[in-house]
Amino acid sequence: MVGRIGVNPLDFPGRSQIIPETVVGFVGSIAVLVLVFGLCAFVGCRLAARANGPNTSSAMKVFTHLAISTVPIGLGFHAAHYFTTILISGQYTIAALTDLMASGADFRGFGQTRAFVGFLRDFDVVRQIWMVQATVIVLSHVIAVLMVHAATRKLFATERQARWAEVPLSLFMVAYTVFDLWLLAAARGA
């Protein structure tokens, strides 16, 4: 990816050298996510309008009421992507709790505690970690779909309208799940 911004990945200058590009990518990805979500809400309202019965919800009302359904996705995404960091940093936290003032005392009887990261060399352990991460991502997306399902039942006059309105958002959630799993499985550098 750094090749696209004119940086040789074999001679990476460091993250501080590509701050503008990183900010543009970050803001751009959020804008694309909001636009696609809004488009799905708009298309869902159009599909609901074609169903039998009067359409009681505007695309903006649907967008604002369903935006909260992205919160479990964000929480699941962060929990999954920082899971190994938590496994390693948690060991440092336990070590710090045994000697809160860093005076060399061993108040909780843990002894000299060192963080162990050797588990990341075992393929089976890494596979289990990935399965936990994938499960967290999938469950967070399922929760988001259930939230969309519940909200559309309240926003539309008939059951049929609600079902049609949630079709584009459900497809969006499936695509977003696949994208999140791809990000999780993609090799990272730097």
From the DSSP assignment, how many helices (H) and strands (E) are in the chain? 6, 0
Residue at 12 is within a domain:
no
Q: Which two tokens stand for residue 105?
A: 């005392």
Nearest to 56 by CA among 169, 149, 148, 157: 157
Q: Whole-model pTM above 0.85?
A: no
Nearest alpha carbon to residue 165 among 12, 59, 22 = 59
Residues 180-188, mean pLDDT to the nearest whole number: 79
The count of structural domains within the chain is 1
Is-contact 21 5, C-beta < 8 A? Answer: yes
Cα–Cα distance, 156 to 51 (Å, whole number): 11
Query: Which one is predicted more confidently, 9 or 35?
Result: 35
Look at residue 113 in the predicted model and tell me its pLDDT: 66
Q: 132 exposed, middle or buried (CB, 10 Å; 0-12, 13-18, 19+)?
A: middle
pLDDT the model gives residue 100:
72
More confidently predicted of 90 and 106: 90
The stretch 125-144 carries a mean pLDDT of 93
- Which residues, in sequence order, are CB contacts of 84 under 8 Å at separation 6+? 120, 129
Flag whether pLDDT at 136 surpasses 90: yes
Alpha-carbon gap, residue 110 to 123, rounded angstroms: 29
Residue holding tokens 């501080």?
16
pLDDT at 9: 66
6 part of a folded domain: no
Handedness of CA 104, 118, 132, 134 (dihedral sign): positive
Summarize the confidence of residues 66-80 as an average pLDDT: 91
Please state, as a whole number, how many other Cβ atoms lie within 10 Å of the Cβ of residue 126.
Answer: 13
Indicate whether 190 belongs to any domain.
no
Confidence of residue 119 (pLDDT cuts 50, 70, 90): confident
Residue 60 above 50 pLDDT? yes
In-domain check, residue 121 = yes
Say what percent of the chain tops pLDDT 70.
Answer: 88
pLDDT of residue 190: 43
Q: Whose CA is closest to 148, among 134, 163, 131?
A: 163
Report if residue 41 sits inside a domain: yes
pLDDT of residue 101 exceeding 60, the answer is yes
130 part of a folded domain: yes
Tell me the helix, strand and coil percentages in the chain, rounded to 5. 75, 0, 25
Do the domain assignments include residue 170?
Answer: yes
Residue type, 55: N
Query: Is residue 43 scored above 70 in pLDDT?
Result: yes
Quote the domain boundaries for residue 71. Answer: 17-185
Strand residues in the chain grouped as ranges (E)? none
Is 155 among the domain residues?
yes
* Mean pLDDT for the chain overall: 84
Q: Looking at residues 114-123, what average pLDDT do you find?
A: 84
